[in-house]
Structure formats: structure tokens, C-alpha cells
Chains A and B, each alone.
Chain A
Amino acid sequence: MIKRVTFKHKWLPYALLAPQLLITLVFFIWPASQALYYSVLQQDAFGLRVDFVAFDNFAYLFSDPTYLESFEITIMFSVSVALMSLSFALILAVMADRVIKGATAYKTLLIWPYAVAPAIAGVLWYFLFNPAVGINAWILRAWFGYDWNHTLNGTDAMLLIVIAAAWKQISYNFLFFLAGLQAIPRSLIEAAAIDGASPLKRFWTIVFPLLSPTTFFLVVVNIVYAFFDTFGTIHATTRGGPYGATNTLVYKVFNDGFIGLDLGGSAAQSVVLMVIVITLTVVQFRYIERRVEY
């Protein structure tokens, strides 16, 4: 039975929906349509003339090596963030699942980073890895002889934003993994133990496959997060640098549009991003609806 709510007044449901609709309209539909509109226009350097150029902006984008490079950077960044945050979250969830005493305290503490704003997370790690004052940079130099410098070294910069972005996402993944783990019947693990599987083998042959629906869901969520929600993290730390080494697609939209003032090109990039996020969402819904088949 599906519960149905009935309203006495015809206008009440609309009134209740209005704020949400308004927000969607103002912050999503409107900017999206603006992006679509600008993506087929070109403004001259002085902002005096606007020409309709159809798909020229897109054609230009995909022939621009810096854009293609940014694509690669973004994919590399997203995959690294997803891998890192998922694996740490899984390890933590497995450990928290076994804790009996004080489990709530662990869980609460592990969830905290999720409440930290992306930019703050970025700044936090920026200082930890600051070549001059950061403890992490100091440890790397003192113990491993590695001269960390994310303002000069592109790889270091990339690592920095990966760590900062992944750290924030671990909490979210942890919650889902923990819920997933707790949904696996104990008797399955016990049966596997009687069947002679070592704890590690039990994990890989029973637990991990049974977690796959959760994992799949989280992979998509994490990639979307790394693609779109990390602007603050990057802006507060590397600003896309050095030399574009951390210039992800989202950051490039901002860079080209608001710093480079190429509105048409930037809008075209937004449209590409929109297409990506729509695709990911569709993929996710289709699979989540059908659940991952065992």
C-alpha cells in the first residue's frame, strides 16, 4: 500500500513545492539555459559585438590541446579521488563493523570531515603540506628525503588536491559501506568460516561481492563529486596550477569564463559538463533501479 496524503486546499501542495521549484529555477534551470544560450555565441574582445557562431565554440574546444589535457587531468583526478576515498572508507568501515565498544564514538568522529566545507578542507591540507610550515611536508623531507612543493611541482599539486578531496569524501563513503556491511547476514560469514575461508578470503569472496551494489553506487557518486564539487578545494589550494597541472574541467570553466572572459568558450565547456553529469546520473539510476544483480 502506498500512503497518499490528501490536502484540503488545492493551493497547499503548490505552496509547499514552490520554494524547491524556485530554487531549481533560479540556480539550475536559469543558469543552464544561459549556458546553452551563450555556448552558441561569441563575444568580441571588447564586449561590443555578439555573433551567433553555432557549434564553433564546441569545435574549437575539442581541437584545443589545453582542453583535452584538462579532460585527462580531470579523469585522472576523479579516478584517484574515487579510488582513494573508497578504499580508505572501506577499510575504516570494515574496522568499525568489528568494534563493539564505543562504536558510536568512532562513527561520529569519522563522519565529521563530511561537514567541513570543501574550501576549508583544501586550506587544511594546504597548510599540512605547506613546504615552509606544514608538518606533512616536513615529515616527507625529514624521514623520506622528499622535497614536497605543490606550488612548483605539478604531481605534488595533483596529489594535494586528490588527498584533500578524497579526505572529505571518506565520511560519506564510510557511512554507506558500514550500512552495507551491516546488512550482510552474519551467518554468511560464519558459513564461510566453516567452509575454510580465511578472514581475508572471506572478505574478497563473500563480503566484497555482496557490497558491490553499494560500491557501484559510491563510484558514481564519487566521480560526480570529484568532477563537480571540488571547485572550492582547488580554488583554495592550487588554483589550477602549477602550469595547469590541476586545471580540472570545472576549474577551467571558471578560469576561462571569469578570468579569461571567454564567455562563449566557457559556456560551451559548461554544456559539456552538463552532458557528462546527465549521463552519469542516467547510468546510476538505471543500475540502481535494477539493483546490481548477484
Chain B
Amino acid sequence: MAELQISAVEKVYPNGFKAIHGIDLEVADGEFIVLVGPSGCGKSTLLRMIAGLETVTGGTIRIGDRIVNELEPADRDIAMVFQNYALYPHMSVYQNMAYGLRNRGFPKDQIEQRVQKAAGILQLDGLLDRRPRQLSGGQRQRVAMGRAIVREPSAFLFDEPLSNLDAKLRVQMRVEIKQLQRRLGTTSVYVTHDQIEAMTMADRLVVMNAGVAEQIGTPIELYDRPSSVFVGGFIGSPAMNFLAGQVDTDGRHLLLGNGARLALPADGAPAEPNRLVTIGVRPEHLAPAEDGPLRFEVELVEHLGADTLLYGEASAATGGGNGDKGGLVTVRLSGHHALAMGTVLGLTAEPAQLHLFDAATGRRL
């Protein structure tokens, strides 16, 4: 058990590529942190630096009360679960789990006891004599987990451990991993590019983009107050709608490029008149309304059962503006709605549900 502290960490690969541009992160003892972001944003790089599999070229990493920058992976008291599981194919399940303990010179009876305990927790009891290739994907995943937990390390590191599993098993294992982590109370850093996985598992999320941490916070914080267009677009599914616009001269309204006029939140809106902004609004926060400021023409309907997703073009209800359409917008309605293609709806959004971002920097206003 330990906290993990990452200060101004940078990574420059030997070929000169800068993969991490200074990341600060404090992970509390027992916390489950998820690193999420698009492919190539540096999630694995950061995780592997924590593990000691990549050198740290700037900043410090602290596990517990030790700076581990220069320590070998084995001396960092961490365990890692790899995407391809990295089970030793020539060893039985038992030997796979015992390997790390043997190398550390644990006495035989203690190894036996720990492996049996882990096998019990992970429902691997009957499988200890099997080789990895005789196991299903989910079982291999459990062995990889078992290998991590027998060591009772101060932190678990996961690099996309579920991405080789089918959708159903992925949901099941996601729950199992989370429950196991709760039960053991071990500090964990988990890498994924699946935002559902990220939202459901994380105590706190780190959204990464091109080597920087765009935002760090709880899933709800990130959903409610994304700090940038990037985070807004990345968290939440279907993705947030973005419309270009500008603050009206009265400072109380937004003028969309398509001519629609939306009211700004009354409380302390950053109403600098004429400022160019990007407006973000989630599909679930757009509601049909006869006299709504947006005119929406349905182009595609998806029935998900619990929800109905509408895709279409939004424009101004009153006409006018510069005449351009508002761009593609997704609307999420709960329940069933039998809407034909080409149906025209009025749409409205609560002022409080509008997210305002600077048009140039993409930062939240």
C-alpha cells in the first residue's frame, strides 16, 4: 500500500521523440486511477515509466516514500498486468504465479499458501496444473491478475488488460478487477482507451492527449465540467456536440454560426461580448421543444432500447443568420420514439447544460 507521486515527468525516446510533456499526478493510497486517451497519446509510456520498463528522462516518480526513478522494476514493489497477459508459456498456472515469489526467496510453504489464496479469490483452483495455452482468454486474464496479487505489491499497473477479450467478458472482468481492487485496497493505475471502462472503473481519471494530461478528476467532474473541447469530446458516449458561435452584444446570449440564439446561464457567465466560442452540449441535454431555438432535421434514427439516438442537421429556427447549417448534431432521447427520417423538430437546451470553450484554444471559459 502506498501513494504514488508523479512530478513533472517527461519522456524523450532515444530517437528524439517527446512522448510525455511534463505530467503531474498524485495518486492516493488505495486509489484507482485510469489513464485514458486516444492511441499514441503516451498512456503506455507513462505506465511503463512507473513500472521501470522505460527510463524517466525528466521529473520524478515516487512510490510510497521512495523516489524510484533509478530503481530496477523488481525493486519498485509494483506488479503489472500486460495487454497480452505475458504469461510464461512453458510454466503451469501455479508456476506462473509462484515465479515472482521464488525469485524473491520466499519459503516454499508461504508460496504455496499465497498461490492457493490467490487461486481461491480468482476461481483458478482447478486450473493450477494447466499451461496457459490450455486456458480460455478470461482464465488467462485471471492468471495474469493472480501473478500480480500473490506478490502483494504496493501498486498494480494495468496496460489495457481487457482489450483482448470479447465484449461480454470484458464487462465481467471489468467488474471483477474493480471488486478485487476494492477488496485488496491496492493503489492502481489502469490504462485504457475505452472510455466506458475508464468511466466505470476509475476513482479518478486522467485524460491524456499528445503527451499531456488534459484533465484529472472524478468521472462525474469530467463529465460535468470538461476543461477542454478535447475532454468534452472524449468523455461521454455518444460524444458531445460542438457548435461554433459567439457571445452576443448583450452578453446574455450566444449567437450560433447558423443564426440561432441561445440563452447563456444567468449566473456569472463569462459574457465578454463578441467573443468567439465553441459551444458544447451533450446529446442527452438537447430536448425537443416546439418553440426551441434550434431547428433539427432527423437524418438517422438508432433505437438502442432504453434510448433513441437521433442524428441530423441543426439550423436556426428563425432562419436568418449567415444561412449555414449548424453541422451534425446527435440527440439522445430516453425511451422509444417512432420518428421518421426527415422529421423536423425544435430543440432546446438548458442554459446550465451548455459548455463554453474558447474557440481558439479549446479551453473552457
Query: Are B103 and A187 in touch, CB under 8 angstroms?
Result: no
On whether A206 and B86 interact (CB within 8 A), knowing A195-B74, A195-B99, A201-B103, the answer reads no
Query: Are A193 and B89 in touch, CB under 8 angstroms?
Result: no
A193 and B86 CA atoms in complex are apart in Å by 12
Query: Are A194 and B73 in touch, CB under 8 angstroms?
Result: yes
Interface size, chain B (Cβ < 8 Å) = 24
Query: Are A185 and B86 in touch, CB under 8 angstroms?
Result: yes
Residue A147 interfacial (CB < 8 Å): no
Main SS at interface, chain A: helix
Query: Are A193 and B72 in touch, CB under 8 angstroms?
Result: yes
Cross-interface CB contact of B131 among A190, A210, A294, cutoff 8 Å: A294
Query: Are A191 and B89 in touch, CB under 8 angstroms?
Result: no
Residue B90 interfacial (CB < 8 Å): yes
Cross-interface CB contact of A210 among B83, B90, B99, B151, cutoff 8 Å: B90
Main SS at interface, chain B: loop
Cross-interface CB contact of B100 among A185, A188, A195, A209, cutoff 8 Å: A195
Query: Are A197 and B86 in touch, CB under 8 angstroms?
Result: no
The residues in A between 170 and 227 inclusive whose CB is less than 8 angstroms from any CB of B are 185, 187-188, 190-197, 201, 205-206, 209-210, 212
Query: Are A194 and B89 in touch, CB under 8 angstroms?
Result: no
Cross-interface CB contact of B74 among A193, A205, A206, A210, cutoff 8 Å: A193
A206 and B96 CA atoms in complex are apart in Å by 11
The residues in B between 53 and 112 inclusive whose CB is less than 8 angstroms from any CB of A are 53, 72-74, 78-80, 82-84, 86, 88-90, 99-100, 103-104
Contacts of A185 in B (CB 8 A): 84, 86
Cross-interface CB contact of B89 among A195, A197, A201, A210, cutoff 8 Å: A210
Return A247 CB to nearest CB of chain B, in Å. 41
Return A216 CB to nearest CB of chain B, in Å. 13
Residue ID in chain B nearest A212 by CB atoms: B90
A209 and B90 CA atoms in complex are apart in Å by 7
Residue ID in chain A nearest B90 by CB atoms: A294
Residue B51 interfacial (CB < 8 Å): yes
Query: Are B88 and A190 in touch, CB under 8 angstroms?
Result: no
Interface size, chain A (Cβ < 8 Å) = 18
On whether A190 and B90 interact (CB within 8 A), knowing A185-B84, A195-B103, the answer reads no
Query: Are A191 and B82 in touch, CB under 8 angstroms?
Result: yes
Contacts of A209 in B (CB 8 A): 90
Query: Are A194 and B74 in touch, CB under 8 angstroms?
Result: yes
Contacts of B80 in A (CB 8 A): 190-191, 194
A190 and B50 CA atoms in complex are apart in Å by 13
Query: Are A194 and B103 in touch, CB under 8 angstroms?
Result: no
Residue ID in chain A nearest B89 by CB atoms: A294
A70 and B9 CA atoms in complex are apart in Å by 68
Q: Mark A4-26, 1 if CB is under 8 A from B, else 0.
A: 00000000000000000000000
Query: Are A187 and B90 in touch, CB under 8 angstroms?
Result: no
Query: Are B86 and A190 in touch, CB under 8 angstroms?
Result: yes
A261 and B90 CA atoms in complex are apart in Å by 54
Return B355 CB to nearest CB of chain A, in Å. 40
A37 and B36 CA atoms in complex are apart in Å by 76
A205 and B78 CA atoms in complex are apart in Å by 21
Return A235 CB to nearest CB of chain B, in Å. 43
Query: Are B86 and A187 in touch, CB under 8 angstroms?
Result: yes
On whether A190 and B73 interact (CB within 8 A), knowing A185-B84, A195-B100, A195-B103, the answer reads yes
Contacts of B99 in A (CB 8 A): 192, 195, 197, 205
On whether A187 and B104 interact (CB within 8 A), knowing A193-B53, A209-B90, A294-B131, the answer reads no
Residue ID in chain A nearest B79 by CB atoms: A194
Query: Are A188 and B53 in touch, CB under 8 angstroms?
Result: no
Return A194 CB to nearest CB of chain B, in Å. 5
Closest 9 CB pairs of A and B: A195-B100, A294-B90, A196-B103, A187-B86, A196-B74, A191-B86, A194-B73, A209-B90, A187-B82
Chain B residues with CB under 8 Å of chain A are 51-53, 72-74, 78-80, 82-84, 86, 88-90, 99-100, 103-104, 131, 133, 147, 151
Q: List 7 A-B contacts (CB under 8 A).
A: A185-B86, A187-B83, A187-B86, A191-B80, A191-B82, A194-B78, A196-B103
